[in-house]
Amino acid sequence: MGKSVENFEQEFAAYCGVSHCIGVANGLDALILILEAYKQLGHLADGDEILVPSNTYIASILAISKARLSPILVEPDDATFLLNPKACEAAITPRTKGILPVHLYGQLCDMKAIGGLAARHDLLVIEDSAQSHGAIQGDKRSGALGHASGFSFYPGKNLGALGDGGAITTSDDDLATAVRALRNYGSHKKYENLYKGINSRLDELQAAFLSVKLKDLDADNARRRAVAAEYNARIRNPAIILPQSITPNAHVWHLYVVRCSERNRLQHYLAEHSIQTVIHYPIPPHHQQAYSEWANISYPISEQMHAEVLSLPISPVMTSAEVESVIDAVNSFS
Ligand SMILES: Cc1ncc(COP(=O)(O)O)c(C=O)c1O
């Protein structure tokens, strides 16, 4: 927690358009610490319900469980993969205290609708921005679209360190003060401990790397958009459903996720053509052994997505020839 962390925190807060950025060890800790801080401030209590999409990466849900809150899974919008505000509204109970929208695959959720819903029901909005660094909705960036936001800087992210890292962004002064203490053994002042905190520091070296890489984030996202635009325009295969992007700036294409009813055969076919693909994610959270209490609940939209999704290669360093070979291979699949 030296000068490089402090510099990066200031730069990233300014980039996101918020008053505070607090560096932490990883994205999961970022979400846990936000929720813990809200508990310390008296805004949340053990067992309160937090709405979260049923098709997210498990870390979003683990954070809620780790903070001893109750994750309530909400089915996503079938076309965009994103949290569905109408389904959220239907899931609200007197115990609901927050919504955790996940900007999955790099596309921002409809934060206007979610913000309106939260205001009407007096709910906290905690963004999971682990996949959406730099995405813009209206005139605000990911990280400034809720009450607080958690970021991951895992190396594969749009803004990635050279090892693990994470951050919390917020314009709530009280929350920022509580999170700063909680990430540092619960201490505001050396050897004085206000909370039972943890050690979750952003490493000084990683912060220095992040400051360098932040300068390239917008250009990297522009290149990702250009690759996605090529795929959108030129992948023509009736067996494949292309991803939907609502407004161009709201998507930073962390992943380019297509759907195919014969997903496993498609993945095998592309591998034979030297194209590596990944499934994000093969098992829905409610079918994970860690959440065996949900084993008998059905989330059909999420289940179908998990059976059909496949992430094609996308990155700011892809060459035009590489993009071309992906398009040719996908179009030749039958
Ligand atoms: C949506 C989402 N939330 C949270 C996380 C957790 O971030 P980290 O791996 O830095 O703990 C990830 C990371 O992969 C993620 O994709």
CA gap 59, 280 in Å, rounded: 13
d(CA 318, CA 85): 35
Q: In terms of DSSP H, where are the helices of 183-295?
A: 204-214, 217-234, 263-272
CA distance 173 to 189: 17
Ligand 1 pocket: which of 154, 201, 202 to mutate (most atoms within 8 A of CB): 154
Residues 6+ apart with CB under 8 A from 170: 18, 19, 20, 34, 147, 148, 149, 176, 179
DSSP string of 53-80, one letter each residue: ETTS-HHHHHHHHHTT-EEEEEPBPTTT
Q: 166-170 and 148-152: which strand pairing?
A: antiparallel
192-193 and 187-189 strand pairing: antiparallel
Atom of ligand 1 nearest to the CA of 104: 1
Q: How far is the CA of 59 from the centre of ligand 1 (A)?
A: 6
DSSP 8-state assignment for residue 102: B
Report whether residue 102 contacts ligand 1, using a CB cutoff of 6 Å: yes
State how far the Cα of 130 lies from the Cα of 142, in Å rounded to an integer: 10
pLDDT by residue, tens only, the chain of 334 residues:
899 999 999 999 999 999 999 999 999 999 999 999 999 999 999 999 999 999 999 999 999 999 999 999 999 999 999 999 999 999 999 999 999 999 999 999 999 999 999 999 999 999 999 999 999 999 999 999 999 999 999 999 999 999 999 999 999 999 999 999 999 999 999 999 999 999 999 999 999 999 999 999 999 999 999 999 999 999 999 999 999 988 999 999 999 999 999 999 999 999 999 999 999 999 999 999 999 999 999 999 999 999 999 999 999 999 999 999 999 999 999 9
Name the residue with the closest Cα to ligand 1, atom 15.
Answer: 130
Cβ atoms within 10 Å, residue 44: 21
Contact 312, 277 (CB under 8 A): yes
**Cβ partners under 8 Å of residue 156, min gap 6:** none
Helices within the chain (DSSP H only): 3-16, 27-40, 58-66, 85-91, 111-121, 173-182, 204-214, 217-234, 263-272, 300-308, 320-331
pTM of the model: 0.98
52 pocket-lining for ligand 1 (C-beta < 6 Å): no
Q: Is the CB of 252 under 6 A from ligand 1?
A: no
Q: Is residue 166 within 6 Å of ligand 1 at its C-beta?
A: yes
Contact 8 CB / ligand 1 (< 6 Å): no
**Residue 238 CA, ligand 1 centroid: distance in Å:** 33
Number of H helices, E strands in the chain: 11, 13
- Which pairing describes strands 309-312 and 256-259: parallel, antiparallel, or unpaired? antiparallel
Q: Kind and range of the H or E element at 169?
A: strand 166-170
**Strand 70-74, strand 49-53: pairing:** parallel
- The CB of 63 under 6 Å from ligand 1? The reply is no
For ligand 1, whether the C-beta of 55 sits within 6 Å is: no
Q: Phi and psi for 101 in degrees, rounded to 5?
A: -70, 135
Q: Tell me, what amino acid is at 278?
A: V
The 10 Å Cβ neighbour count of residue 70 is 15
Question: How many CB atoms within 10 Å of residue 292?
Answer: 10
Q: Which of 32, 152, 164, 281 to mutate to test the pocket of ligand 1 (most atoms within 8 A of CB)?
A: 152
Amino acid 246: pLDDT: 82
